């Protein structure tokens, strides 16, 4: 899948782009099943809710489940990322957020790249995020909210505070925009939240200001997030690096699959080899 010139322009202008129903129902079901499987794998990559039972997020599922490994290279995802960024990209971070019914944390308004620069010394905002809706997203179940065009202002909060720097898992509050900063942003740009059926994709900039409302609905809302980084823009650490499940170490440039990821997932050993 290649983005049209109009789509590319819209991404540059707004800082995000919604592609509805890029994946079909069978594919979404397979990804949900793979997520359920991955939620059973114990380890620090699995973050549970305060109640200790429900899984809130899982990192690096593409290192364990062949469906996700395939997805990271599916042409519908990877081709647009290469158009938007550069030919040589790899997965810097992979996570799935399960926002439970009636809640889920509310994320403060922030820009992703602030966190990555502080935590991983990423030299430049040479990333593209891809969100994959694993459930239908509507205004009630905690959609991501963007301030469209806010990425064009660069970093609003240029924070290298010790509070943020010391965290292995960055707390969004540590990198949150101030009320005054957000008020100015929203006054000129407004707010918008892409919604769509499960299987839709949202490409978005590492510099776009965004937040997320709680899930007011009685149904969970699962969102898969892949961050691709330019292989010429690698992280480095003066002290302890962040764990490998948070910041992936395999920086081999990814090449698109020649067919949909599910058709290839049956051939896992041939497909992924040592990368799994």
Contact residues for a second copy, defined by CB under 8 A: 101-102, 106, 139-140, 145, 179, 182-183, 186-187, 191, 193, 211, 213-214, 216-219
User: Which is closer to a second copy, CB of 168 or CB of 178?
Assistant: 178
User: Which is closer to a second copy, CB of 125 or CB of 194?
Assistant: 194
Number of CB atoms found within 10 A of residue 140's CB: 15
In the complex, what is the shortest distance from the CB of residue 213 to a second copy, in angstroms, rounded to a whole number?
5
User: Which is closer to a second copy, CB of 138 or CB of 231?
Assistant: 138
Question: Whole-angstrom Cα distance, residue 207 to residue 276?
Answer: 30
User: Which is closer to a second copy, CB of 109 or CB of 116?
Assistant: 109
User: Which is closer to a second copy, CB of 214 or CB of 243?
Assistant: 214
In the complex, what is the shortest distance from the CB of residue 184 to a second copy, in angstroms, rounded to a whole number?
9
C-alpha 191: how far from chain center? 19
Question: Please, which contacts does 138-142 make with residues 24 or more away whose CB atoms are closer than 8 Å?
Answer: 138/195, 138/217, 139/193, 139/195, 140/215, 140/216, 140/217, 141/99, 141/215, 141/216, 141/217, 141/219, 141/221, 142/99, 142/104, 142/212, 142/213, 142/214, 142/215, 142/216, 142/221
Residues facing residue 100 across a β-bridge? none
In the complex, what is the shortest distance from the CB of residue 19 to a second copy, in angstroms, rounded to a whole number?
21
In the complex, what is the shortest distance from the CB of residue 86 to a second copy, in angstroms, rounded to a whole number?
34
In the complex, what is the shortest distance from the CB of residue 140 to a second copy, in angstroms, rounded to a whole number?
5
Calculate the dihedral angle through the C-alpha atoms of 196, 202, 205, 209, rounding to the nearest 10 degrees.
20
């Amino acid at each position: 899948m290649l983005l049209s010139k109009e789509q590319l322009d819209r991404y540059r202008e707004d800082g995000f782009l919604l592609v509805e129903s890029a994946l079909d129902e069978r594919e979404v079901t397979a990804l949900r099943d793979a997520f359920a499987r991955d939620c059973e794998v114990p380890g620090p990559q699995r973050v549970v809710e305060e109640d200790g039972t429900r899984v809130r997020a899982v990192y690096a599922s593409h290192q364990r489940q062949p469906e996700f490994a395939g997805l990271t290279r599916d042409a519908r995802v990877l081709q647009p990322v290469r158009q938007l960024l550069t030919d040589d990209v790899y997965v810097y971070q992979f996570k799935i957020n399960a926002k439970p019914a009636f809640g889920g944390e509310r994320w403060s308004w922030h820009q992703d790249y602030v966190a990555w620069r502080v935590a991983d010394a990423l030299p430049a905002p040479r990333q593209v995020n891809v969100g994959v809706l694993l459930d239908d997203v509507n205004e009630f179940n905690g959609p991501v909210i963007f301030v469209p065009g806010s990425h064009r202002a660069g970093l609003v909060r240029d924070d290298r505070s010790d509070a943020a720097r010391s965290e292995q898992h960055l707390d969004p509050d540590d990198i949150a925009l101030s009320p005054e900063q957000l008020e100015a942003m929203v006054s000129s740009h407004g707010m918008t939240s892409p919604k769509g059926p499960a299987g839709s994709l949202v490409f978005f900039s590492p510099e776009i200001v965004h937040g997320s409302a709680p899930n007011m609905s009685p149904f969970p809302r699962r969102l898969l997030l892949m961050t691709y980084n330019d292989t010429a823009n690698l992280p480095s650490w003066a002290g302890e690096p962040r764990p490998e499940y948070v910041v992936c170490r395999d920086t081999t440039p990814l090449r698109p699959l020649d067919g949909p990821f599910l058709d290839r997932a049956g051939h896992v050993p041939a497909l992924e080899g040592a990368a799994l």
